[in-house]
Amino acid sequence: MSFRETLKELVEEVEGGLGAILMGYDGIAIDEYIPAGSDFDISLLAVEYATLMKEIRRTVEVLQSGDFEELAVATGELRVVVRVVNDEFFVVLIIDRDGNYGKGRYLLRRSVPGLRAALS
């Protein structure tokens, strides 16, 4: 399955899925899937989350509580769930506030071994 297909499957299988991005800690997206008709500015989100992910990785290292695995941020309108793929890349799933957060987390976690294998 291509990166795009994996991301598309993630977004379409989650109720309230708004988009998904596979990207690097350097802020460059490898691939992304945004459903047609969405006016979501995923580029801005990608850049901002790359900065955030680096900061959290640093925090996790300082606290020495094992490897960084997952980040989730909830705001008034969105839930953003991010799963670490390897030292260079992570995958982001954006879900509507009222979407299925539990299923999103599950599918995102399940997608990681395939993405990791494809990136190695």
Question: Which residues of this chain interact with a copy of itself, rule CB under 8 A?
Answer: 41, 44-45, 48-49, 51-52, 55-56, 59-60, 62-63, 65-78, 97, 102
* Distance in Å, CB of 98 to a copy of itself, minimum: 12
Tokens found for residue 45: 């989100």
Residue of 68, 73, 70 lying closest to 48 (CA atoms): 73
In this complex, which beta carbon is closest to a copy of itself, that of residue 15 or of residue 69?
Answer: 69
User: Is 84:70 a contact under the CB 8 Å cutoff?
Assistant: yes
Q: How far is CA 66 from the centre of its chain?
A: 20
In this complex, which beta carbon is closest to a copy of itself, that of residue 29 or of residue 45?
Answer: 45
